[in-house]
Amino acid sequence: MKPPSIGLCTVLALLLISFQRPIQAQTTRAQTTADAEVTLTGTVQSVLVKGAPGMIVGSHLLLATPNGTVDASLGRFALQGEGAVSVAAGQQIEATGVMKRIKDKAVFLVRSVKVGGDVFTIRNKHGFPVSPQARKRANQKTGGNEESL
């Protein structure tokens, strides 16, 4: 026979657990949805291989658009490995992604970028960065630069 205090402690513990709010991870990944995505056309002002202080981690493009300069985040992998984005200051590009407010700054989280005739996938449809290894596998499957991750 169980002592009554064990049963009471169990009930109290279950009540405490049931009233707690779920814990949500704090991340800066893009949570992209097709209806929130936009395509920006602009001229690359500069390519930052590494973000400046105050920017989120990864490489960035500073784009001159008709509405002003936009910080376009490419993430950690876009400029690395096989199938990396090849872009330079002065080039005209199209970037598709979502505008987010991160660390009190507007950042355009790029999902794909079109440079010339080539399309590069930076993040998959769920907003996760595409690694050089994933790009390589996708290129082997599709035989081209455009991935469907």
Total of domains in the chain: 1
Poorest-confidence range of 97-101, 112-116, 131-135, 145-149? 145-149
The answer as to whether 58 is a domain residue is yes
pLDDT at 135: 78
The answer as to whether 17 is a domain residue is no
What percentage of the chain has pLDDT greater than the value 70?
Answer: 70
Q: Is the Cβ–Cβ distance between 134 and 84 less than 8 Å?
A: no
Tens-digit pLDDT profile for residues 60-73? 999 999 999 999 99
Closest CA to 138 of 129, 130, 147: 147
The answer as to whether 35 is a domain residue is yes
pTM check: above 0.85: no
The answer as to whether 9 is a domain residue is no
Q: What is the CATH number of the domain that holds 97?
A: 2.40.50.140
Per-residue pLDDT band for 147 (boundaries 50, 70, 90) equals: very low
Strands 105-115 and 68-75: parallel
* The token pair that represents 8 in the structure block: 């009471």
The answer as to whether 15 is a domain residue is no
Residue 113 to residue 87: CA distance in whole angstroms: 10
The answer as to whether 1 is a domain residue is no
* Position 106, amino acid: A
Q: Could you tell me the residue range of the domain that residue 89 belongs to?
A: 29-142
